[in-house]
Amino acid sequence: MELLDNLALGFSTALLIQNVLYCFVGVLLGTAVGVLPGIGPTATVAMLLPITFNFEPVTALIMLAGIYYGAQYGGSTTAILINLPGESSAAVTALDGHEMARQGRAGPALATAAIGSFIAGTIATVALAIAAPPLARVALQFGPPEYFSLVLLGLIVSIALARGSAIKALAMIFLGVLLGTVGQDIYTGTPRFVFGQRELYGGIDFVSVAVGMFGVAEILRNLENEQTRTAVVSKVKNLWPTREDRRRIVGPILRGTGLGAALGVLPGGGHVLASFTSYAVEKRISKRQQEFGRGAIEGVAGPESANNAAAQTSFIPLLTLGLPAHPVMALMVGAFIVHGITPGPNVITDEPELFWGLIASMWIGNVLLVLLNLPLIGMWVRMLRIPYQVLFPMIILFASIGTYSLGFNAFDVYAIVLFGLLGYILIKCGCEPAPLLLGFVLGPLLEENLRRAMIIQRGDASVFLTRPISAVLLALALAALVVAVLPAIRKRREMVFTEDE
């Protein structure tokens, strides 16, 4: 009964006119950036973050969440129609989805992606509503040693799941943590790494880092590698799958949902890992293995369900532990903090309307996404004709205005340029900026809990090993680090996270 009462509270919040409106705006923008290759939800959320600061906290978070899971829907449209995934998690959908489009079956492929996404999103949201409260109650028992070990585990697991070199991912984590220490010491107030700049006394602005590293840097990379985009179908016909298609997609949708819901909570690229794992599972157990890569509808249903389920369950560690599972969730942490809310287990008791309203909005968002994606396919395809040279200057302009408006400080705009160039250089050197942002967000939390635990224990570091939960988490972190550098695991990880360039 308690769960039903909480959901009733959530829907009463999510169904307010302004919240429904901004949920619609969020999923609409999310679909748009999912369709447009090269922008992605991380850059979009980073650049729209300043605009939401004048909103009510629940409204802002509903819109930002809609952008994220909306992009998972939109990414499949271009993957199927033009073999160019708008989102990395949709790369595997292109393998069979585009082949179906070339065979004149774009309609069933798009409908399967939408149906699988809706079912998976709905089931995963139920899992989120059921799993989050008990996990939050457990997290309330954590002290500083447990939180330190948990944050350390999250950072190391994100290395294991990162794309490319584990050493480079580790270096990005260290750089992010180092940047997070800039500003006044949390206990003594002594300035650290400020180099005489008063603007740095409060630390490096989170929004400047996010917009620069994920907005400007990605734009520079995409301008350098702009691809020709030509749709193989001008008009989608026969949208609804046949009876045989419907029979074949039931199993992959359910299996993909289960895989995605489980893998979505992992730090790093859980939603990408989920879609590739689902495809591998479906291919392995299928009686029609020869069809995979040639237009197997299971190759669309499974991965699309998996990445959308993972998109929903990635909110579990954020809402219950205050830990982001990937860069978009790190941006959501920033949104919580800017609105004066500390993400973690206390949110469910201190801000019940926000907690349950955000969960309920995901159901509403999933319904809106089905209504947006299928009838408006023609509009999404036409969006691909917008030249990047026109689109990107507008994006940078609005992002700069939004960032400047936060504190009316030109230093924040200069920081966008600096971090944009840094991000572009790192990308060219083969370093992914995502671990850097996770390190930047989690670094202060890591330092605070380390120092708090040491102060309480009067400098006795054995507390991290004598408290059982902390010791288990540290053992898991060590195991994850060993796994990350094993040659066989490293090779497999690089195969899984290869994007379709």
Instruction: Copy the structure tokens of residue 69.
Output: 């899971």
Query: By the 8 A CB rule, do 361 and 78 touch?
Result: no
**C-alpha–C-alpha distance, residues 292 and 302, integer Å:** 12
To 10 degrees, the CA torsion angle through 371, 374, 375, 381?
130
The angle, 0 to 180 degrees and rounded to 10, between the axes of the packed helices 434-456 and 166-180 is 60
77 or 10, which is more confident? 10
Whole-number pLDDT of residue 266 = 73
Whole-number pLDDT of residue 388 = 67
393 or 226, which is more confident? 393
- Per-residue model confidence as pLDDT tens digits over 423-461: 999 988 888 787 888 888 888 889 988 999 999 988 888
- Per-residue model confidence as pLDDT tens digits over 291-346: 887 788 888 888 889 888 888 888 888 888 887 877 788 888 888 888 888 888 88
* Structural domains counted in the chain: 1
The DSSP-derived string for 92-131 is: THHHHHHHHHHTT-HHHHHHHHHHHHHHHHHHHHHHHHHH
- Per-residue model confidence as pLDDT tens digits over 12-39: 999 999 999 999 999 888 888 777 765 6
Q: How confident is the model at residue 384 (pLDDT cuts 50, 70, 90)?
A: low
- Per-residue model confidence as pLDDT tens digits over 121-169: 889 888 888 888 888 888 878 889 988 998 888 888 777 666 667 788 8
Per cent of the chain over pLDDT 70 is 87
Q: Does pLDDT of 500 surpass 60?
A: no
**Rounded mean pLDDT of the chain?**
81
Query: By the 8 A CB rule, do 339 and 60 touch?
Result: yes
CA torsion through residues 180, 185, 191, 192, sign: negative
Whole-number pLDDT of residue 85 = 65
501 or 23, which is more confident? 23
Whole-number pLDDT of residue 84 = 66
- Per-residue model confidence as pLDDT tens digits over 399-408: 777 777 767 7
- Out of 255-264, 291-300, 358-367, 385-394, least confident range: 385-394
Whole-number pLDDT of residue 103 = 83
Q: Does pLDDT of 475 surpass 90?
A: yes
Q: 457 lies in which domain range?
A: 2-499
